[in-house]
């Protein structure tokens, strides 16, 4: 039985749930948990298939989901990851920044590509040696909780510090830091009122060449800090993880 748990019923959790409802993800039952149970109940009422709302992670684990998707916060990763892995449950982590501090490696932890692509190419280059990765992210001020009327450089520094200062908006920086060595990744964040999308430009210098990647993504209408592509990358990864689980379960 394909059962999926989702921790966090905000923008990303909702998009994933609706993908399951539309059968984009093959799932027999969805288990929802949010520290604000009213959000979980509201999402359940909007869906038209088998959904169970639980009051805590322990209740979710008892229902034996094949995969749990964390779509809540870095703190949720810190609070729940060990318990999930101890139960041998596959875990998809959206709040990637938490993994920079935890330094935990497990084949049960899965990280979606998020709001960018080309992660496979960067990972391949890192095997040979990456000299530098520069991420320049431009967002509308409202996505950064700002109100500037002119373009403004908000941050310039390391990926690890960017993730600490902008925990909900810099998962791209965390993904790059985990793909290459964290000290190789430099980040610039620009608040630009002329920008209506979340724009990520990535320059990579590695042993055998250079790469230039650029992604311009619509923000999620309910959460401008999040690109719509981030949720869809999680949906793709969820499908792959469920398919792998089904194959291993049948052998």
Q: What residues are annotated to the active site?
A: 200
* Matching residue, tokens 């019923």: 9
Q: Are 52 and 32 in contact (CB under 8 A)?
A: yes
Instruction: Quote the distance between the C-alpha of residue 130 and its chain's center.
Output: 23
DSSP state of 218: P
Residues 6+ apart with CB under 8 A from 90: 66, 67, 68, 108, 110, 241, 245
Helix, strand or coil for residue 199?
strand
In DSSP terms, which residues pair with 200 in a beta bridge? 137, 215
Q: Are 162 and 170 in contact (CB under 8 A)?
A: yes
Q: Residue 142's closest CA among 224, 66, 73?
A: 224
Q: Are 225 and 143 in contact (CB under 8 A)?
A: yes
Helix, strand or coil for residue 157?
strand
* Matching residue, tokens 């916060």: 73
Residues 6+ apart with CB under 8 A from 124: none
């Amino acid at each position: 039985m394909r059962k999926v748990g989702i921790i966090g019923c905000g923008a990303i959790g909702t998009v994933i749930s609706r993908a399951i409802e539309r059968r984009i993800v093959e799932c027999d039952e969805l288990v929802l948990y949010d520290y604000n149970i009213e959000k979980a109940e509201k999402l359940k009422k909007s869906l038209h298939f088998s959904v169970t709302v639980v009051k805590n992670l322990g209740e979710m684990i008892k229902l034996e989901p094949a995969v749990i998707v964390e779509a809540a916060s870095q703190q949720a990763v810190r609070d729940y990851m060990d318990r999930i892995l101890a139960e041998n449950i596959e875990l998809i982590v959206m709040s990637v920044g938490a993994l920079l501090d935890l330094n935990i490696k497990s084949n049960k932890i899965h990280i979606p590509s998020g709001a960018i692509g080309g992660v496979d190419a960067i990972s391949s280059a890192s095997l040979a040696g990456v000299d530098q990765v520069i991420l320049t992210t431009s967002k509308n001020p409202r996505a950064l909780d700002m109100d500037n009327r002119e373009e403004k450089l908000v941050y310039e520094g390391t990926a690890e510090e960017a993730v600490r200062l902008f925990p909900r908006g810099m998962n791209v920086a965390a993904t790059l830091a985990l793909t290459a060595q964290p000290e190789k990744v430099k980040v610039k964040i620009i608040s630009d009122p002329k920008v209506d999308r979340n724009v990520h430009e990535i320059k990579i210098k590695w042993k055998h060449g250079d790469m230039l990647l650029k992604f311009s993504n619509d923000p999620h209408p309910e959460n401008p800090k999040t690109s719509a592509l981030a949720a869809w990358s999680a949906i793709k990864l969820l499908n792959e993880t469920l398919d792998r689980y089904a194959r291993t379960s049948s052998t």
